[in-house]
Amino acid sequence: MRLTWLGHSAVHIDAAGKSILIDPFFTGNPKYPAGWEDRLSKLDAIVVTHGHEDHLGDTVRLAKKYGATLVAQWEICMTCAAEGVEKVQPMNTGGCISHEGVRFCMVPAWHSSSVMREGKAQTMGDPAGFVITLDGISVYHAGDTALFSDMALIQRLHKPKVGFLPVGDRFTMGPEAAAIACNEFLALELVVPIHWGTFDLLHGDPHEFARKVTRGRVHIATPGEPFTV
């Protein structure tokens, strides 16, 4: 499995012949590696954790360009379908689907979810995380979340080996809370801090997070540089 962090919470998974993007916030993301999309030959699925613009991002454009299937909350799928996305797989918290050889499980996240339309915030269902399983490896993308003890149930049910956890603070967990998630509730072999450093408001330090983690290996990724598991 080849994984690439694309800045903020955007992650690309390449495994078993499948190309999957999570939270593809490219336009307006100062940490997005310029030109990365030019190397993307295909895209099978786009996963969106919640409706905020820094996660929904370029979903509609990319889904149309590549003919990708959108996997997300019902409200997000219906909104994007109304904007021209043809392939959608709507879900809700607690559910799992298998689609073209990939298993997607939607798990809870403590946050909010809305999108601005005509100057007003429109609800986009509940926020979520996802556990995505392919090629024998389960990857947990926590979305934007606070710390919550039921992460232990996510570990028990889905047994993720790799995790992408927010550490930026203010809008999500900070380094200390994310480290508690790893040390007490999750049993990840590899964890990658995300949702940090994009904007000045996200002041959480991934190095502080790495110092506090006592279970699993922390990889502080560089946007656009792939790594394998």
Q: Which of 18-27, 44-53, 117-126 has the lowest mean pLDDT?
A: 117-126
Amino acid symbol at 143: G
- Residue % of the chain over a pLDDT of 90: 97
Q: What is the pLDDT of residue 154?
A: 98
**Mean pLDDT, rounded, for 10-22:** 98
Classify 152 as helix, strand or coil: helix
Q: Which of 8-17, 120-129, 188-197, 220-229 has the lowest mean pLDDT?
A: 120-129
Taking residue 170's Cβ as centre, other Cβ atoms within 10 Å add up to 11
Which tens digits make up the pLDDT trace of 171-210?
999 999 999 999 999 999 999 999 999 999 999 999 999 9
Task: Provide the number of structural domains found in the chain.
Answer: 1
**Does residue 228 sit within a domain?**
no
Q: Which residues pair with 138 in a beta bridge?
A: 133
**Does residue 18 sit within a domain?**
yes
**Does residue 229 sit within a domain?**
no
**Does residue 155 sit within a domain?**
yes
Task: Please report which confidence band the pLDDT of residue 32 belongs to, taking 50, 70 and 90 as the band edges.
Answer: very high
Q: What is the pLDDT of residue 108?
A: 98
- pLDDT higher than threshold 90 for residue 118: no
Residue in the structure block whose two tokens are 């689907």: 97
**Does residue 226 sit within a domain?**
no
Q: How far is CA 13 from the centre of its chain?
A: 11
Q: What is the pLDDT of residue 133?
A: 98
Is residue 177 within 8 Å of 149, Cβ to Cβ?
A: no
Q: How far is CA 10 from the centre of its chain?
A: 6
Q: What is the pLDDT of residue 68?
A: 98
Q: What distances in angstroms separate CA 59 from CA 71, 83, 100, 144, 226, one per listed residue?
A: 11, 11, 20, 17, 21
**131: containing domain:** 2-221
Q: What is the pLDDT of residue 50?
A: 98
Write out the two tokens for 15: 């495994």
Is residue 209 within 8 Å of 167, Cβ to Cβ?
A: yes
- pLDDT higher than threshold 90 for residue 110: yes
**Does residue 227 sit within a domain?**
no
Q: What is the pLDDT of residue 122?
A: 87
CATH code of the domain in which 203 resides: 3.60.15.10
Helix (H) or strand (E) holding 157: helix 151-158
C-alpha angle with apex 147: 92 to 179, nearest 5 degrees?
Answer: 130
Task: Please report which confidence band the pLDDT of residue 163 belongs to, taking 50, 70 and 90 as the band edges.
Answer: very high
Which tens digits make up the pLDDT trace of 128-157?
999 999 999 999 999 999 999 999 999 999
Q: What is the pLDDT of residue 54?
A: 98
**Does residue 167 sit within a domain?**
yes
Task: Please report which confidence band the pLDDT of residue 116 belongs to, taking 50, 70 and 90 as the band edges.
Answer: confident
**Does residue 74 sit within a domain?**
yes
